[in-house]
Amino acid sequence: MNEFRLPDLGEGMQEAEVRRWLIKPGDSVKLDQPMVEVETDKAVVEIPSPIAGRVADIRVAEGQVAKLGEVLVIFESADSSATTASRPSNGATRQDGAADPTKAAPAQSASAPVASTMTKQRVLAAPAVRKRAFELGIDLADVPASQPNGRVTLDDVLAYAERAKQAAASPAPREKAAGPAAPPEPAPAQPAAPAPAAQPERQPLTGLRRRIAEHMERSWRTVPHATAFDELDGSELVALRQALRATAQQRGARLTYMPLLVKLLIPALKEFPVFNASFDEEQRAIVYKKDYHIGIATDSPEGLMVTVLRNADQLTLLQIAAQLEHLIEGAQKRSLSLQEVSGSTFTLNNVGSFGGSSGTPIINYPEVAILAVGRLQEKAVVRNGAIVARTMMPLALSFDHRVIDGALAGRFLARFKELVEHPQQLMLDMI
């Protein structure tokens, strides 16, 4: 028997929840066939089958959590399949060695391809490439590799599929369409049964919802939160976005306020580096990060996710806009990679995009601060002794009080306000 154990999926993963099995005991699977979906605290990952063969047993049920290195599934080995097939018997052998009279013994011709396929050398290719090849019905061994080390890329697979499509025979003639079917006879009406008494529904926390709960509990228990509130005049921000929208559309980008806010946030983080840090619990030390990976609180069908805009300080405004669109779409489909949902150094939460005017954010552990911006709305404010209408934006900065004091938080917010209220000074870096 061949055991397949939960592999290391990166980012310090120690366990994963089995979200959905795509195979079942007794199935014959192909090499690289999608086998199981597992969910870490960061992402949903689809694991392909490492071999071709027959599934003997599944050891971790859907909804259960497996530890790193724990056996997930057992396959019949090539040797055991060949031995079983060559031994005359009137029943299939169960795992306890007894004959099972309800199952006929597999013929040798059925098990021979399994043994030969399992011994075939595995082609070098990324999991996404393997999945696409399987969906297209393509054997990776038939695809010419473009890389010097023999690795097959997604472009190689798509080019092979296109060549096969062009070489395929002409499609079969269309069949004559059948006439319209007669409408079914209506079922006789049945008297309605009395409605049962309503019972409360109990739903266990699973998947992303459970990960969110665990993450929030850890952050709230570990970090002494404090929050500073303020508001800024967003009139110039609104005017800047309006002036740049047409240019962005011509270049194929949809310009929202978030790319502008991210771009304006970076100088504040560079001037106050402790806000782009984390706190090492064991060493009791502040870890200053040199990269600027901005976490973006993103809504998904299963709950709030923190997607990551990596190296935001090195991106143009339009690159940030395009990347944010990709992250939002990936969060909706739960298709983002681990790198796109982990490793953030500071988190920005636009509660205004969810319809909220303001809120108190919880720090995305192990970061030391998180900034929430609310909905832009017109308010009556006093300017030079006169009451005028201005477009205002509320701010809420939660910070780790072990690392950051209230005075420093106030200065950080003041600098961010200055940048947003006078965004033209960054025009040279934005486009």
Domain shared by 377 and 287, yes or no: yes
Domain shared by 325 and 225, yes or no: yes
Domain shared by 134 and 253, yes or no: no
Q: What is the pLDDT of residues 367-423, one digit of tens each?
A: 999 999 999 999 999 988 999 999 999 999 999 999 999 999 999 999 999 999 999
The Cα 372–Cα 225 span in angstroms is: 14
Active-site residue, from 215, 293, 401, 422: 401
Domain shared by 265 and 332, yes or no: yes
Which two three-digit tokens encode residue 251? 């270049």
Note whether residue 198 is domain-resident. no
CATH number of the domain at 141, please.
Answer: 4.10.320.10
Domain shared by 405 and 315, yes or no: yes
Whether 345 contacts 375, CB under 8 Å: no
Specify the range with the lowest mean pLDDT, choosing from 59-68, 163-172, 222-231, 325-334: 163-172
Domain shared by 405 and 380, yes or no: yes
Note whether residue 290 is domain-resident. yes
Q: What pLDDT does 16 receive?
A: 85
Highest mean pLDDT: which range of 63-67, 110-114, 217-221, 361-365: 361-365
Treating both helix axes as pointing N-terminal to C-terminal, what angle do 317-333 and 235-250 enclose, rounded to 10 degrees? 80
Chain position carrying tokens 């806010």: 261
Listed in order, strand segments (DSSP E) in 223-309 are: 225-233, 277-280, 285-288, 294-300, 303-309
Instruction: Give buried/exposed letters for 103-138 (b at 16+ CB in 10 A, else e).
Output: eebeeeeebeebbebbeeeebebeeebbbbbbeeeb
Question: Active site includes 293?
Answer: no
Note whether residue 194 is domain-resident. no
Note whether residue 24 is domain-resident. yes
Residue 42: band (very low, low, confident or very high) from pLDDT cuts 50, 70, 90: low
CA distances for 161 relative to 127, 138, 151, 157, 306, angstroms: 18, 8, 17, 6, 36
Residue 77: is its pLDDT beyond 80? no
Note whether residue 56 is domain-resident. yes
Helix (H, G, I), strand (E, B) or coil at 353: helix
Q: What pLDDT does 171 receive?
A: 56
Q: What pLDDT does 191 receive?
A: 63
Domain shared by 334 and 406, yes or no: yes
Residue 83: band (very low, low, confident or very high) from pLDDT cuts 50, 70, 90: very low
Whether 332 contacts 309, CB under 8 Å: no
How many domains does the chain fold into? 3
Helix (H, G, I), strand (E, B) or coil at 157: helix
The Cα 357–Cα 149 span in angstroms is: 54
> Which residues are paired to 176 by β-bridges?
none
CATH number of the domain at 288, please.
Answer: 3.30.559.10
Structural domain range at position 79: 1-87+105-122
Instruction: Tell me whether strands 28-29 and 2-5 are parallel, antiparallel or unpaired.
Output: unpaired
Domain shared by 150 and 264, yes or no: no
Determine the average pLDDT of the residues in 213-230.
Answer: 89
Instruction: Give buried/exposed letters for 328-352 (b at 16+ CB in 10 A, else e).
Output: bebbeebebebebbbebbbbbbbbb
Domain shared by 115 and 233, yes or no: no
Q: Is 151 buried (19+), middle (13-18) or exposed (0-12) by CB count in 10 A?
A: middle
Note whether residue 183 is domain-resident. no
Determine the average pLDDT of the residues in 152-180.
Answer: 71
Note whether residue 379 is domain-resident. yes
Q: What is the mean pLDDT of the chain?
A: 81
Determine the average pLDDT of the residues in 261-272.
Answer: 96
Taking the model in full, what pTM does it have?
A: 0.60
Domain shared by 66 and 142, yes or no: no
Instruction: Name the percent of the chain in helix, strand, coil, to the closest 5.
Output: 35, 25, 40
Specify the range with the lowest mean pLDDT, choosing from 302-316, 351-365, 389-403: 351-365
Sheet holding 53-58, edge to edge: 2-5, 71-75, 53-58, 28-29
Backbone φ, ψ for residue 21 (5° rounding): -85, 135
The Cα 412–Cα 418 span in angstroms is: 10
Instruction: Tell me whether strands 53-58 and 28-29 are parallel, antiparallel or unpaired.
Output: antiparallel
Note whether residue 417 is domain-resident. yes
Residue 362: band (very low, low, confident or very high) from pLDDT cuts 50, 70, 90: very high
Determine the average pLDDT of the residues in 335-351.
Answer: 90
Number of helical H runs and strand E runs in the chain: 10, 19
Residue 264: band (very low, low, confident or very high) from pLDDT cuts 50, 70, 90: very high
Q: What is the pLDDT of residues 188-209, one digit of tens each?
A: 666 666 667 777 888 777 777 7
Q: What is the pLDDT of residues 327-338, one digit of tens each?
A: 999 888 888 888
Whether 228 contacts 397, CB under 8 Å: yes
Specify the range with the lowest mean pLDDT, choosing from 214-218, 219-223, 294-298, 345-349: 214-218
Domain shared by 112 and 137, yes or no: no
CATH number of the domain at 79, please.
Answer: 2.40.50.100
Which two three-digit tokens encode residue 199? 């019972």
Domain shared by 278 and 226, yes or no: yes
